[in-house]
């Protein structure tokens, strides 16, 4: 993880006025010293999107400040040039604590380009080149509810899918919606066949665990970065092994569809 790269943290205005940013209490955050004043405690984590291709980690949050009675507002915490990612999500516990706030604490280290969120039901860590905090132009009740709806069951079908030479492009975890999805390029006819854009979609998710060397995975295009995918039907679980890491999802339903 590069410690010698100058890392900046700032608020980016996305479609809303600077006045609203100031009212949210985050408009003056421009460096580590000011970032330390951002109140993560009792915030809500809505979703986490990790792009292997772009090496970005984007976390959709709702942050306020209970100490001064400031209501939560929508924010995006992003790590660019991501090198490493770790995520552990207990969806049921996160959902149970969402109304009161399922973020226990947060830490950002500008010298390492890293972020860490301690959750009531998990942990998120990402490290790379740069970390940014941005306001989101949506009302609180417009938080995402679902991206791809999975079919019922489906584990038996996934069990017979060939993942040889597949390339994992991105993962999306949504504790707020109880869903998870993985975007892949899959070669159904071997390495000489054209890659097909596919999505593995999970719903009724109870837990997710992922540990990935993003920088390593991003560079393995020709032969793919997926090594195997194991289905445990009795546990409603899929564990995907990639060239440098793994992803584990426990859910009630899963499907694979072409994008």
Residues 97 and 173 in one domain: no
- Tell me the pLDDT band of 152, cut-offs 50, 70 and 90: low
Residues 15 and 118 in one domain: yes
pLDDT digits (tens, 9 = 90+) for 35-70: 667 788 899 999 999 999 999 999 999 988 666 666
Give the single-character DSSP code of 233. G
Residues 100 and 161 in one domain: no
Give the pLDDT confidence score for residue 1 in this predicted structure: 41
Residues 127 and 176 in one domain: no
Give the pLDDT confidence score for residue 59 in this predicted structure: 95
The answer to whether residue 3 is domain-embedded is: no
CA distance linking residue 163 with residue 104, whole number of Å: 38
The answer to whether residue 148 is domain-embedded is: no
Confidence (pTM)? 0.83
Q: Which of 142, 167, 187 is the last residue of a domain?
A: 142
Give the pLDDT confidence score for residue 164 in this predicted structure: 85
Give the pLDDT confidence score for residue 252 in this predicted structure: 94
Give the pLDDT confidence score for residue 8 in this predicted structure: 35
Q: Which of 99, 121, 142 is the last residue of a domain?
A: 142
First-to-last alpha carbon distance for the chain, in angstroms, is 34
Taking residues 180-186, what's their average pLDDT? 95
The answer to whether residue 215 is domain-embedded is: yes
Residues 241 and 132 in one domain: no
Would the pLDDT of 192 be above 90? Answer: no
More confident of the two residues 216 and 220? 216
Taking residues 199-217, what's their average pLDDT? 96
Give the pLDDT confidence score for residue 111 in this predicted structure: 81
Residues 131 and 15 in one domain: yes
Lowest mean pLDDT among 17-26, 64-73, 222-231: 17-26
- Give burial (CB, 10 Å; 0-12/13-18/19+) of 201: buried
- The count of domains in the chain is 2
The answer to whether residue 107 is domain-embedded is: yes
pLDDT digits (tens, 9 = 90+) for 77-107: 989 999 999 999 999 999 999 988 999 999 9
Whole-Å CA distances, 112 to 3, 5, 20, 60: 5, 8, 30, 21
Identify which of 214, 187, 212, 210 has the alpha carbon closest to the alpha carbon of residue 198: 187
The answer to whether residue 241 is domain-embedded is: yes
Residues 111 and 26 in one domain: yes
Residues 30 and 129 in one domain: yes
Q: Which two tokens stand for residue 117?
A: 């969120």
Give the single-character DSSP code of 154. -
Identify which of 159, 248, 257 has the alpha carbon closest to the alpha carbon of residue 207: 248
Residues 134 and 237 in one domain: no
Q: Which of 142, 169, 200 is the last residue of a domain?
A: 142
CA distance linking residue 73 with residue 178, whole number of Å: 21
Residues 29 and 136 in one domain: yes
Dump strand ranges (E) for the chain: 11-12, 44-51, 56-65, 70-80, 84-90, 103-109, 114-119, 122-127, 130-135, 167-174, 179-186, 196-203, 207-213, 226-232, 237-242, 245-250, 253-258
Residues 137 and 34 in one domain: yes
Would the pLDDT of 236 be above 70? Answer: yes
Residues 90 and 48 in one domain: yes
Give the pLDDT confidence score for residue 66 in this predicted structure: 64
The answer to whether residue 88 is domain-embedded is: yes
Give the pLDDT confidence score for residue 256 in this predicted structure: 93
With the C-alpha atoms ordered 34, 40, 43, 47, is the resulting torsion angle positive or negative?
A: positive
Taking residues 228-242, what's their average pLDDT? 94
Would the pLDDT of 177 be above 80? Answer: yes
Average confidence score pLDDT of the chain = 81
The answer to whether residue 149 is domain-embedded is: no
Structure-token match 């038996």, residue found: 156
- 166 is in which domain, residue-wise? 155-258
Q: Which two tokens stand for residue 48?
A: 């986490």
């Amino acid at each position: 993880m590069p410690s010698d790269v100058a890392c900046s943290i700032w608020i980016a205005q996305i479609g809303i006025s600077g006045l609203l940013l100031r009212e949210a209490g985050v408009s003056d955050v421009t460096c580590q010293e000011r970032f330390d004043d951002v109140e993560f405690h009792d915030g809500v984590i809505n979703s986490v999107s990790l792009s292997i291709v772009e090496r970005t980690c984007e976390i959709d949050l709702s942050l306020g400040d209970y100490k001064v009675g400031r209501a939560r507002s929508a924010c995006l915490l992003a790590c660019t040039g991501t090198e490493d990612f770790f995520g552990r999500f207990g969806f049921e516990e996160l959902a149970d604590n969402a109304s009161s706030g399922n973020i226990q604490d947060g830490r950002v280290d500008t010298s390492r380009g890293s972020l860490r969120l301690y959750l009531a039901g998990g942990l998120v860590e990402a490290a790379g080149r740069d970390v940014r905090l941005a306001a989101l132009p949506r009302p609180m009740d417009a938080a995402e509810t679902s991206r791809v709806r999975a079919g019922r069951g489906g584990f038996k079908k996934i069990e017979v899918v060939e993942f040889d030479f597949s390339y994992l492009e991105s993962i999306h975890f949504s504790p707020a919606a109880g869903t998870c999805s993985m975007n892949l390029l899959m070669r159904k006819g071997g390495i000489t066949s054209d890659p097909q854009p596919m999505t593995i979609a999970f719903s009724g998710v109870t837990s997710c665990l992922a540990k990935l060397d993003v920088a390593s995975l991003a560079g393995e295009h020709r032969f793919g970065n997926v090594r195997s995918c194991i289905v445990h039907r009795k546990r409603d679980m899929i564990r995907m092994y990639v060239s440098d890491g793994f992803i584990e999802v426990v859910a009630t339903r899963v499907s694979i569809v072409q994008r």
